Amino acid sequence: MSAPVYQKTVSAPVNIAVIKYWGKRDVGLNLPSNSSLSVTLSQNDLRTLTTASCSAAFEEDSLWLNGAMESMCESPRLSVCVRELRKSRLELEAKNESLEKIANYKLRVVSENNFPTAAGLASSAAGFAAFAQAICALYELPWTPTELSRVARQGSGSACRSLFGGYVSWEMGEQPTGADSVAVQVAPVEHWPEMRVAILVVSAAKKGVSSTAGMQATVATSSLFAERARNVVPQRMVEMKNAIRARDFASFAQLTMKDSNQFHAVCLDTTPPIFYLNDTSRAIIRAVESINSSVNGYAAAYTFDAGPNAVIYFLEKDSDLVLTTLRSVTQNAEGWEKADFKPVESSEFLN
């Protein structure tokens, strides 16, 4: 008789930061130099679907990412997540006699993205969130999303924010162990039903400088970075939370654009300088500025991660104005996608 295979499938959404995480205060534990805040997008548009299975018949831990096998043991970040989850399953098995003894079986994790990987579209956030969730579900660990965020964070920092829907902060924490460096929901998506987001895929190519390498270079060489982490972001986090709670789009938009611009300024202040934006990205920035001038206020906000692709936030009432203007600018871009985000509750993940 062949050995049974235990299996669980989950999906995790992408999140796009409006206050950016850039810089680690502890590389080993993946602890950030500043807190950050993001909006989780709809799983219908950008998501990672991941199945974790384990069996006595499997000979090694393996990870299949978009059809290609990646070595799990060669990735310290994946290994750290697996080690923590396995240890917790072992503890659970020791406490509960009736549980199957599966903790020491080898794992097979199969993961698919429905969007370009590593093109500055937060693929690692959705990927590591789904990875941690799938194994957590397989092992039936009774964890809250915040507890799981501590593990997902060690895979990829931004992944911890993909464990919640809506508006999510990653609080940098103070403890050297990282125990309090976790994600927390600021508001569920229903809180601001008029909010919309558009993704402009300027280029689906892999980014030139990975976020890990970029952050390390920035921390080592940029003086602007220290100023940002110490004196700018703490106040901006407070203001952003207030803007979200008050559904104040003008403040949300100003803070989002300022923070994106400062993040890219910090990249430029790195030696050697890191360029993530391209001419199309800059044309999109100018188009958003002109949309906002035309309404004498704020109808749209742009933000860019570690790549040239734009994410635009706007309210439903301004959809026609924003989308028509942006479509005319991105005619020569490689693609166009629009993602309306909607509730993604944590309970959906662990089924």
Q: Measured from the CB atom, is 17 or 41 closer to ligand PMV?
A: 17
Whether 172 contacts 32, CB under 8 Å = yes
Q: Measured from the CB atom, is 88 or 211 closer to ligand PMV?
A: 211
Cα(175)–Cα(166) distance, rounded to whole angstroms?
Answer: 27
Type of residue found at 211:
S
Cα(123)–Cα(116) distance, rounded to whole angstroms?
Answer: 8
Cα(325)–Cα(290) distance, rounded to whole angstroms?
Answer: 9
- Residue recorded with tokens 């890990």: 212
Q: Measured from the CB atom, is 214 or 243 closer to ligand PMV?
A: 214
Whether 102 contacts 54, CB under 8 Å = yes
Among residues 211, 218, 256, 270, which is the contact residue for ligand PMV, using CB under 6 A?
A: 211
Asked if 156 is part of the footprint of ligand PMV (rule: CB under 6 A), the reply reads yes
Asked if 305 is part of the footprint of ligand PMV (rule: CB under 6 A), the reply reads yes
> Which range touches ligand PMV (CB under 6 A), out of 15-23, 51-59, 188-196, 248-256?
15-23
Asked if 228 is part of the footprint of ligand PMV (rule: CB under 6 A), the reply reads no
Please report how many Cα atoms fall inside a 13 Å half-sphere around the Cα of residue 168, on the Cβ side: 31
Asked if 21 is part of the footprint of ligand PMV (rule: CB under 6 A), the reply reads yes
Residue 309 in tokens: 């692709």
Q: Measured from the CB atom, is 54 or 81 closer to ligand PMV?
A: 81
Asked if 51 is part of the footprint of ligand PMV (rule: CB under 6 A), the reply reads no
Q: Measured from the CB atom, is 229 or 291 closer to ligand PMV?
A: 229
> Which range touches ligand PMV (CB under 6 A), out of 5-13, 60-68, 86-94, 122-130?
122-130
Among residues 240, 243, 306, 326, which is the contact residue for ligand PMV, using CB under 6 A?
A: 306
Cα(311)–Cα(275) distance, rounded to whole angstroms?
Answer: 17
What is the per-residue burial (b if ≥16 Cβ within 10 Å, else e) of 123-141?
bbbbbbbbbbbbbbbbbbb
Asked if 20 is part of the footprint of ligand PMV (rule: CB under 6 A), the reply reads yes
Residues that bind ligand PMV (CB under 6 A): 17, 20-22, 36, 122, 124-125, 156-158, 211-212, 305-306
